[in-house]
């Protein structure tokens, strides 16, 4: 299977060389586990290292805040945008019902799924994107009335993305949980995303308080051998690094 580099330090060897190309990967985790950083690192390093333009669709944060936050890692998103190597689509303003000053924005009242997907894929085509991030599925589905409608929308998103030729990441918010506690694990908000996605990566915390360690767990990756272990993960000034257990717990 053709592979696409994840952009996450230390992750590709655990995936047998990278993420499956032109497939959709679900990245789930509780608040503060690093989902947005993971997603933007996938796009940013994709541009710098493999010259693959990307699109980041934000339903949770204003683009200016995203740009400012990513400067903590010295990721100059504006420079990539100016060179049409990255596009940030502002869907947050539409959710709030206010106008946006962004070049790529979903207009208030135009969050209907089919129109939304056409607009997103139109932006992707305009810059020749190879990578796409939707952050996040629960925020995007918030305007839908019933869980049945949400599940149908998720299925449609997965189908359209699989036909688009893009290597995509979708994120989902889940409650904080303890791996290995004996209770049933939750991998997505609506318990359907993990079944339609080609891969599932769970970000979590191990431990509590000052002793907590960030972790990454590859639940599945279709068509690819991958690690089944829980790996320590670090967020530093260069982004996310996945480490070996023996390097952390010596």
Q: Average pLDDT of 31-38?
A: 95
Nearest to 154 by CA among 196, 188, 91, 122: 196
For the chain, give every domain's residue range.
Answer: 3-248
Contacts of 163 (CB under 8 A, 6+ apart): none
pLDDT of 248: 62
Beta pairing partners, 220: 200
User: How far is 204 from 179, CA to CA, in rounded Å?
Assistant: 8
pLDDT of 46: 98
Q: What tokens does 118 get?
A: 């056409």
User: How far is 157 from 149, CA to CA, in rounded Å?
Assistant: 12
User: How far is 55 from 173, CA to CA, in rounded Å?
Assistant: 20
Quick one: CATH architecture of 3-248? 3-Layer(aba) Sandwich (3.40)
Count of alpha carbons within 13 Å of 23, Cβ hemisphere only? 22
**Phi, psi (rounded to 5 degrees) for 226:** -150, 160
**Phi, psi (rounded to 5 degrees) for 16:** 75, 25
Nearest to 172 by CA among 146, 142, 139, 143: 139
User: How far is 24 from 41, CA to CA, in rounded Å?
Assistant: 16
Tell me the whole-structure pTM to 2 decimals.
0.94
89-147 pLDDT tens trace: 999 999 999 999 999 999 888 889 999 999 999 999 999 999 999 999 999 888 787 88
pLDDT of 29: 95
Contacts of 3 (CB under 8 A, 6+ apart): 12, 15, 16, 17, 18, 19, 20, 21, 224
pLDDT of 179: 60
pLDDT tops 60 at residue 209: no
| pLDDT mean across residues, the chain | 91
pLDDT tops 90 at residue 16: yes
Torsion angle of alpha carbons 223, 50, 9, 85, nearest 10°?
Answer: -110
147-164 and 113-126 are packed helices; what angle lies between their axes, rounded to 10 degrees?
20
Between 245 and 30, whose confidence is greater? 30
What is each CA distance from 20 to 14, 106, 131, in whole angstroms?
A: 13, 29, 12
């Amino acid at each position: 299977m053709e592979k696409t580099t994840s952009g996450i330090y230390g992750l590709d060897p655990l995936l047998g060389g990278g993420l499956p190309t032109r497939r959709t990967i679900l990245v789930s985790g509780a608040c503060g586990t690093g989902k947005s950083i993971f997603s933007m690192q996938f796009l940013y390093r994709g541009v710098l290292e493999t010259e693959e333009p990307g699109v980041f669709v934000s339903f949770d944060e204003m683009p200016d805040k995203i740009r400012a936050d990513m400067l903590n890692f010295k990721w100059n998103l504006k420079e990539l945008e100016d060179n049409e190597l990255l596009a940030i689509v502002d869907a947050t303003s539409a959710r709030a019902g206010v106008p946006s000053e962004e070049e790529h924005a979903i207009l208030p009242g135009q969050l209907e799924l089919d129109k939304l997907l056409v607009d997103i894929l139109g932006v992707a085509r305009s810059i020749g994107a190879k990578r796409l991030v939707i952050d996040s599925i629960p925020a995007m589905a918030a305007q839908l009335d019933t869980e049945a409608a949400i599940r149908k929308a998720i299925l449609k998103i997965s189908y359209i993305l699989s036909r688009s030729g893009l290597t995509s990441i979708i994120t989902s918010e889940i409650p904080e949980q303890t791996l290995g506690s004996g209770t049933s694990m939750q991998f997505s908000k609506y318990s359907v995303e993990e079944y339609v996605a080609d891969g599932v990566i769970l970000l979590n915390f191990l431990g509590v308080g000052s002793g907590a360690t960030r972790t990454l767990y590859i639940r599945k990756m279709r068509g690819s051998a991958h690690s089944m272990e829980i790996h320590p993960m670090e967020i530093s000034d260069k982004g996310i690094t996945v480490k070996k257990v023996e390097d952390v717990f010596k």
